[in-house]
Amino acid sequence: MSLTAEEKEAGRVFAAAQQAALDARNSLVPPGGQVDPGQRVVRHHCPERGGASTGITLQEHYAQDGPLAFIWKDGRCADCGLVLRSARGKIVLAAERPAEQEKPVRA
């Protein structure tokens, strides 16, 4: 899919606004670590579980504007409360990358 010059400019404005909101969130409530928007589960050595490797399931945040979507993720350890969050979001074509809850399930 090819974007017009107007769609590209609108995408830059949209991405900048979404990243600014994510930056503000990270400044207001700093996470204990960073995650990539492509990850689904991150493991950490949980102090509440004696240093045992514990998975943190990441929740996707998906904002769409026209043909583009902005994705970032965060999650919290249920035992120690560690919060992990994306530092940078990711811009994708909405038609090619639906939100995780909208993705078709393979049989």
Model confidence, pTM: 0.85
Q: pLDDT (tens digit, 9 = 90+) per residue, 21-57? A: 999 999 999 999 999 998 999 999 999 999 999 999 9
Complete DSSP assignment for 7-56: HHHHHHHHHHHHHHHHHHHHHHS--SEEE-TT-SEEEEEEGGGTTEEEEE
Which distant-in-sequence residues (6+ apart) come within 8 Å of 61 by Cβ? 71, 72, 73, 74
Copy the structure tokens of residue 95: 């038609």
Tell me, yes or no, whether 106 lies in a domain.
no
Domain extent, residue 36, equals 5-96
Give Rg (Cα) of the chain: 16
Tell me, yes or no, whether 102 lies in a domain.
no
Q: pLDDT (tens digit, 9 = 90+) per residue, 42-100? A: 999 999 999 999 999 999 999 998 889 999 999 999 999 999 999 999 999 898 888 88
Tell me, yes or no, whether 77 lies in a domain.
yes
Q: In total, how many domains does the chain have?
A: 1
